[in-house]
């Protein structure tokens, strides 16, 4: 299947594994890339630029296919060494960078001068147009269904994707709610050039996270996510658990007086404890509504092969059959 995204990134299938904190290690990125998609190392999970350089080298040892590095620009108490991370990416021969969070303009000149393609994650049309205007090569359009930060507009992909197709000239992929061949065909039908999956790739054999997390995703339904930090305008979609309930109770009690310090216990430093140690209720962790479509834990190759087979079947059998039936009538 050829799209503008497969051509731009030199990949076989229009399927991208997005950056995820304490999930996007070399093992997962390489497995996705080896299966024909685009794997992604999460840059800020690595504590330093030298750690990122080592992780890129590890991934290079596991695959000769293209893979990306995610750089997320978020407000923090101590600013990460972004110039150092960019240097590690360039020196490591990475050809694709997924940026997210705030405007990535500060790093674009260095990346573009090195021939690196940049895909920026956006939750709105206005941000997608801004990404296009500053020189991003593609965007990942993140609908309200997504895990993590869906923005504050609450626009689901059935509206957001066609709007992106109407407005954008650069390629874009659908992100949020993507899980299977139906997702891919739907995204393509609405104008996208592929899809980005996060939560679905967490429930794979190669995802280097605790089995408790994978089984929680299999067990959960589309009704089991919650939105937290809305009063702080830093909305995050997470899987419901004891920590989520505590946080939501604080939001209800404190109302407009709530401060980030009030919820530090539930949100700060929890990802290693959840993803590595499997402590499921120690804090809140990102999860998309797509968990309702996750029923097993395949290998990345099994998952991608299944998605592509299902997508091809829908296009060549069901959709063509509907058109043929109409013509025959």
The pLDDT, as a whole number, for residue 75 is 73
- Residue whose tokens read 């920590």: 243
Residues 267 and 269: their CA atoms lie apart, in Å, by 7
A 10 A CB-CB count for 139 gives: 26
Per DSSP, what are the bridge partners of residue 42? 70
Mean pLDDT of 181-200: 98
Mean pLDDT of 71-99: 93
The pLDDT, as a whole number, for residue 184 is 98
pLDDT classification of 329: cutoffs 50, 70, 90: low
CA nearest to 297, candidates 203, 184, 171: 203
Residues 60 and 77: their CA atoms lie apart, in Å, by 32
pLDDT classification of 324: cutoffs 50, 70, 90: confident
For residue 135, count CB atoms less than 10 angstroms from its CB and return exposed for 0-12, middle for 13-18, buried for 19 or more: middle
CA nearest to 272, candidates 65, 32, 113, 44: 44
Residue partners of 47: CB distance under 8 A and separation at least 6: none
Tell me which DSSP letter residue 267 carries: H
Mean pLDDT of 78-103: 96
Sheet containing 39-42: order of strands: 15-17, 195-197, 172-175, 138-142, 117-122, 96-101, 67-73, 39-42
What's the length of the chain?
329
The pLDDT, as a whole number, for residue 74 is 82
Condensed to tens digits (0 to 9), the pLDDT of residues 103-116 reads: 999 999 999 999 99
Condensed to tens digits (0 to 9), the pLDDT of residues 239-274 reads: 999 999 999 999 999 999 999 999 999 999 999 999
The pLDDT, as a whole number, for residue 326 is 72
Mean pLDDT of 41-69: 98
The pLDDT, as a whole number, for residue 77 is 66
Q: What is the pTM of this model?
A: 0.96
Phi then psi dihedrals of residue 67, to 5 deg = -140, 160
Mean pLDDT of 49-67: 98
pLDDT classification of 327: cutoffs 50, 70, 90: confident
Residues 156 and 177: their CA atoms lie apart, in Å, by 9
Per DSSP, what are the bridge partners of residue 99? 71, 120
Tokens describing residue 84? 């150092």
Condensed to tens digits (0 to 9), the pLDDT of residues 137-164 reads: 999 999 999 999 999 999 999 999 999 9
Mean pLDDT of 37-62: 98
Give the domain ranges of the chain: 4-208, 212-289
Which CATH class for the 4-208 domain? Answer: alpha beta
Condensed to tens digits (0 to 9), the pLDDT of residues 197-244 reads: 999 999 999 999 999 999 999 999 999 999 999 999 999 999 999 999
């Amino acid at each position: 299947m050829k799209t503008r995204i497969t051509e731009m990134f030199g990949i076989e299938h229009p399927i991208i594994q997005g950056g995820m904190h304490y999930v996007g290690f070399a093992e997962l990125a390489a497995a996705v890339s080896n299966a024909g998609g685009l794997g992604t190392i999460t840059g800020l999970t690595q504590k330093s630029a030298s750690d990122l350089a080592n992780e890129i080298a590890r991934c290079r040892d596991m695959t000769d296919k293209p893979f990306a590095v995610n750089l997320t620009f978020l407000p923090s108490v101590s600013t990460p060494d972004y110039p150092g991370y960019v240097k590690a990416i360039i020196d490591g021969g990475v050809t694709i960078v997924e940026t997210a969070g705030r405007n990535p303009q500060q790093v674009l000149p260095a990346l573009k001068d090195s021939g690196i393609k940049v895909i920026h994650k956006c939750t709105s049309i206005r941000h997608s147009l801004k990404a296009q205007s500053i020189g991003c090569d593609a965007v990942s359009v993140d609908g309200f269904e997504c895990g993590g930060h869906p923005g504050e507009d609450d626009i689901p992909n059935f509206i957001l994707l066609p709007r992106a197709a109407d407005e954008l000239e650069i390629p874009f992929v659908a992100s949020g709610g993507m899980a299977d061949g139906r997702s891919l065909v739907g995204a393509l039908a609405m104008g996208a050039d592929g899809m980005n999956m996060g939560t679905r790739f967490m429930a794979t054999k190669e995802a280097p996270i605790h089995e408790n997390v994978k089984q929680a995703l299999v067990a959960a339904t589309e009704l089991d996510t919650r939105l937290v930090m809305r009063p702080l305008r830093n909305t995050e979609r997470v899987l419901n658990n004891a920590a989520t309930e505590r946080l939501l109770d604080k939001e209800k009690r404190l109302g407009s007086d709530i401060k980030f310090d009030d919820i530090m216990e539930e949100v700060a430093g929890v990802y290693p404890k959840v993803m590595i140690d499997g402590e499921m209720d120690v804090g809140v962790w990102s999860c998309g509504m797509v968990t309702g479509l996750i029923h097993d834990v395949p290998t990345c190759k099994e998952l991608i092969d299944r998605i592509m087979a299902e997508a091809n079947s829908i296009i060549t059998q069901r959709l063509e059959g509907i058109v043929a039936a109409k013509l025959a009538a």
